[in-house]
Amino acid sequence: MDSLTEFDSFVRTRTPALLRSAYLLTGDQHLAEDLVQSALARTHRSWNRLHRTGNAEAYTRKTMYHLQVSWWRRRRVPESMPGDLPEPRGGGSVSDHAQQTSLRLTLKSALLKLSPKQRAVLVLRFFEDRTEAETADLLGVTVGTVKSQTARSLAKLRAVAPELAELYVLEGSTR
């Protein structure tokens, strides 16, 4: 397989997973696509080296998080979101589709009220299930910063969406 074919294969197999993380980071399909595209483009620039060392995906993810945290994106995501959070759910079974949809909207809106860095920490810790050390490495910050940002993120989630606090015991986890 030549280099371009290998890169094509990498893009097509890894894009879905990258998009899922990017969607949580941005809250928007198009912004998520932009973010993943930008990270993949940088990976492409270094493809020969990354492919040899087998670090392509780690590099792409790290780039994606750095871009998201450092970019001051022209179109702020919160501006495209509804001004108010959805009404709290009435409680009940998790299997209830309507309730699950409502919860998803609540969580999405709440996430978008966090700063990009806080969102990145939450996504890395609770979606990608990274350790504090891995999260620190990916974001280029200290473990202490990850701990404090995680605590602040969870506190802010509790503040902006109290109904989520009822669902989650949002005390963070330490690994």
Residue ranges in contact with another protein by CB under 8 A: 8, 11-12, 15-16, 19-24, 29, 32-34, 36-38, 40-42, 44-45, 70-76, 78-79, 100, 103-104, 107-108, 111, 115-117, 122-123, 126-127, 129, 167-173
- Residue with Cβ nearer another protein (20 or 62): 20
- Residue with Cβ nearer another protein (10 or 136): 10
Helices marked H in the chain? 3-26, 29-45, 47-53, 56-70, 97-111, 116-122, 132-139, 143-160, 162-167
Rounded to whole angstroms, the Cα distance separating 175 from 163 reads 26
The CB-of-72 to another protein minimum distance in angstroms stands at 5
The CB-of-137 to another protein minimum distance in angstroms stands at 20
CB proximity list for 67: less than 8 A, separation 6 or greater = 35, 38, 39
